[in-house]
Amino acid sequence: MIEINLLPLEMRKVDHTSLRRLLIMVSAVILVSGSLIGLALTLKSHHAEAVEKVNATLEVNRLEPVAKEYDVLSAELKSIETRISTIEEIQVTRMRWGQKLDELYTILPEYVWFDKLELKNTRSMVAGQNGNVSTLLMDCYLAGADEKKYAEFRRVLVGEIVGEAPYTGREFFKDFDSLSDSGWQRETFASTEEGVALKFELELPVKSLTPPSAPPKAAVRPVVAAK
């Protein structure tokens, strides 16, 4: 049956929204608002990250040529430091070898001759003595088999026996640290009057004039982030 309300509008009873429907509507509004706010924050964060990435890429592009130039200059500096170190080591161990050989020839007894002379350079690993160490190596023969002459020759080299020559063993030996004793061995030597000879080796480490200084540490280049 159809009911018709004939009362005027101002006298009609107004139906209120139920509490359940009101709670549902409020909850829906809150959810939609929260979703919109979350979406806005996400978009804003994404935009900020995109801008930061673009700025980082631009910074890398700007610093990359500078880093390459730094690497080139660093390599050149290292090469220069190596050359300076080499020059300093040469200066430290410099010696007028022409005069030194003249001194050796002058004090050399007639019964001794050399089979080989060699200047050997080795890298020193002793703390506080970084650099090259030069050593004069001599392969020698002594006519005959008299051990006393061998000992006498060693004393001549270090200046314990001084002759009347213009140079003495003291002048020759003052540029060396020590004289090694490698021992000797007897060999048949038909070209000598005695028919035998003593073969021995001598090592004379060259003195360093001044201790070589350690090369300065290279600067550390800051790390540039990769793209």
Q: What is the dihedral of CA 90, 95, 96, 98, to 10 degrees?
A: -100
Secondary structure in 3-state letters for 196-211: EEEEEEEEEEECCCCC
In sign, the C-alpha dihedral spanning 141, 143, 147, 149 is negative
What is the C-alpha separation between 202 and 50, in angstroms, rounded?
Answer: 75
Beta-sheet strands, E only, within 65-111:
none
pLDDT at position 149: 92
Q: Taking the CB of residue 94, how many other CB atoms lie within 10 A of it?
A: 11
The 3-state DSSP class for residue 41 equals helix
What is the C-alpha separation between 21 and 27, in angstroms, rounded?
Answer: 10
pLDDT at position 170: 87
How far is CA 188 from its chain centroid?
Answer: 51
pLDDT at position 56: 85
pLDDT per residue as tens, the chain (227 positions)? 566 656 566 665 555 667 777 788 888 888 888 888 888 888 888 888 888 888 888 888 888 888 888 888 888 888 888 878 766 665 655 667 888 888 898 899 999 999 999 988 877 655 455 567 888 999 999 999 888 999 999 999 998 887 766 778 888 898 899 998 778 899 988 877 888 999 999 999 988 765 545 555 555 555 444 44
The helices-and-strands tally (H runs, E runs) of the chain is 4, 4
Smallest CA-to-CA distance from 97 within 134, 62, 123, 49 is with: 134
What is the C-alpha separation between 63 and 222, in angstroms, rounded?
Answer: 11
Smallest CA-to-CA distance from 179 within 206, 208, 204 is with: 204
Who's near 88: CB < 8 A, 6+ residues apart?
Answer: 131, 212, 213
